[in-house]
Amino acid sequence: MNIEQRLESMGLELPAPLQAPTGVSVPFAWARQYGDRVYLSGHGPLATDGTLLGPMGRVGAEISAEQACIAAKAATLALLASLRRTIGDLDRVAAWLTLSGMINVAPGFTQTTGVINPSSELLLELFGSEIGTHARTAIGMAQLPMDLPVVLAAEVAIRT
């Protein structure tokens, strides 16, 4: 299947690990493997060098839904990068089980499902429906860390 070749053919690059801003502590694992499961912590959108990718702010106020969709896709790439660092090869993924999307929303913004759709679509395009189909949540939040527009977390089953 070669997921990395698919990414490359789509012109996508996995980012380096998060370069945490000054004063931000990260005392947890970005991905934790336990048996045949990998639990992925909340990931925001990253540039390829691992720095936070803007714009920052609330969807429906400081940033548009379209900008948030771009951020969601970038956060998906950050999830994939942590997953690859943990398991070594994305082709070991047996199933995407859950994808949880949290969106930093302005009061009244209700299109959270649409913001996370690019993440689901990317997983389906990369892994196909048998592996890429997942259960999903897309919830609006009053605030997210570092004013990120989107944060994604997931659970994946892998071949051991």
Q: Which CATH superfamily is domain 31-158 in?
A: RutC-like (3.30.1330.40)
Q: For position 72, what pLDDT does the model report?
A: 98
- d(Cα 139, Cα 103) in Å, to the nearest integer? 6
Three-point CA angle 133, 71, 121, nearest 5°: 20
SS (H, E, C) 64-111: CHHHHHHHHHHHHHHHHHHHHHHHCCHHHEEEEEEEEEEEEECCCCCC
Q: Looking at residue 153, what is its pLDDT?
A: 98
Answer yes or no: are the C-beta atoms of 109 and 60 closer than 8 Å: yes
Yes or no: say if 72 and 150 are a contact pair by the CB < 8 Å rule. yes
- Tokens 């690859």 belong to 84
Six-digit token pair at 101?
Answer: 């999307």
What residues form DSSP beta bridges with 63?
Answer: 59
Can you give the pLDDT of all 160 residues of the chain as single tens digits?
A: 699 999 999 999 999 999 988 888 889 999 999 999 999 999 999 999 999 999 999 999 999 999 999 999 999 999 999 999 999 999 999 999 999 999 999 999 999 999 999 999 999 999 999 999 999 999 999 999 999 999 999 999 999 8
* CA atoms lying within 13 Å on the CB side of residue 65: 12
Q: What is the pLDDT of residue 107?
A: 97
Q: Are 112 and 103 in contact (CB under 8 A)?
A: yes
Angle subtended by helix axes 112-132 and 65-87, to nearest 10? 30
Task: Show me where the domains of the chain are located.
Answer: 31-158
